Amino acid sequence: MRSAVLAAAVLSSAGLSAQDKKYESKEGKYAVAFPGAPETDSDKVGDLTLHTATAEGKGVVFVVTWSDLPGGAGAKPADVLGTGEKTLAAGLGAKGVKAKDVTFGPDKLPARELAGEAVVGAVTKQLRATLIVSGGRLYQVVAIGTKEAVTGRAGDAFFESFEVRK
């Protein structure tokens, strides 16, 4: 799975636009505007089942991952975000990661924004992510690609379109 996500970051082809239809995951209780229909997958990792939706954009791959936490809603959000940050950074070979605690959405959910670099093959790509805790669930909203795509209008549109649904 990781290699498919990283390869997609290198081989991206389509752009994110205002005409993109929002993808909705009823099971995941979220919606987001991907640049086309995402590929979805579920993998068991230890005690967690990671549900992933991935779509390519021009110069970038967009990913949303969610998982229900073993501790459920009783897990401490700061601990979940810290573990999520370390796991994501290690899994992507990220370096120079800067993190900032924020709140997300109208419900002011605990969240953490990350920015740094990920090495894809021999190429260094820009990494941008927002980790969000909602009840007993962790969402990871991620973009990996060129700096222009990840930090520009396409990246902003993707991150701004993400919403947690009930």
* pLDDT tens profile 79-109: 999 999 999 999 888 999 999 999 999 999 9
Domains of the chain: 2-12+22-164 (3.40.1000.10)
Q: How far is CA 64 from CA 25, 31, 41, 79, 122, in A?
A: 10, 10, 11, 20, 24
Single-letter residue type at 137: R
Q: Model confidence at 20, in pLDDT bands (50, 70, 90)?
A: low
Phi-psi region of 120 (alpha: psi -120 to 50; beta: other; left: phi over 0): beta
- Predicted pLDDT at 155: 95
Tell me the CB-side half-sphere exposure of residue 17, using CA atoms within 13 A. Answer: 4
7: confidence class by pLDDT, cuts 50, 70, 90:
very low
* Number of CB atoms found within 10 A of residue 83's CB: 14
Report which of residues 57 and 61 the model is more confident about: 61
